[in-house]
Amino acid sequence: MVCVPCIVVPLFLWIFHKFIQPLILKFWNPWGKKSITETSGPPPGVSSDDKHYQFIVEKITANSVVVFSKTSCNFCKMAIELLDETGVNYAVENIDGRDDCSDLQDMFESMTGEKTVPRIFVGRKCIGGSSEMWSLHNQNKLVPMMKEASATFKNKKSD
């Protein structure tokens, strides 16, 4: 027998994110007021020799688009799905298997003002989390921002 909630809930979420949320965000955008955080140096009170700071900076310097993620986080999964949809080449760093996961999240808070994942960086700038990225996408600002950061895109197959 088919589990009705197992079909209805994912269908509702898909409809909401594809059609309803973009419509709502065209008229009301609670995330649009947040600023994008530039990563130009260590935050106050953090040494440039700090291993967590160096780890984050190394990842965002090596890749134009980076997602710091946890495998169990649904917001992380939605962010990664959106990046797949845009066709951009990106790096995902899953931090939930690391012994220093909470230390990395504390460093995210020092650097960006938020410690939650996903933490998404485009061109060394933190654009925020999944909600902020969806907001930029719905305003048609995400792909131009990635292009400005010299991100590369996957070749699309022509039919």
Given pLDDT bands bounded at 50, 70 and 90, which one contains residue 30? low
Enclosing H/E stretch for 148: helix 142-148
Any idea which of 3-7, 19-23, 107-111 has the lowest mean pLDDT?
A: 19-23
Instruction: Decide: 90 and 66 in contact? Cβ < 8 Å.
Output: yes
Q: What is the pLDDT of residue 37?
A: 65
What are the structural domains, with CATH classification, of the chain?
A: 36-148 (3.40.30.10)
Query: Token pair for residue 107?
Result: 């460093």
Asked whether residue 158 carries a pLDDT value surpassing 80, the answer given is no
Unique residue bearing structure tokens 């048609």: 140
Q: State the DSSP string of 85-135.
A: HHTB--EEEE-TTSTTHHHHHHHHHHHHS---S-EEEETTEEEESHHHHHH
Any idea which of 34-43, 53-62, 89-98, 145-154 has the lowest mean pLDDT?
A: 34-43
Q: Which whole number is the average pLDDT over 89-99?
A: 96
pTM of the model: 0.75
Q: What is the mean pLDDT of the chain?
A: 88
User: For the segment 117-131, what is each residue's pLDDT rounded down to a tens digit?
Assistant: 999 999 999 999 999
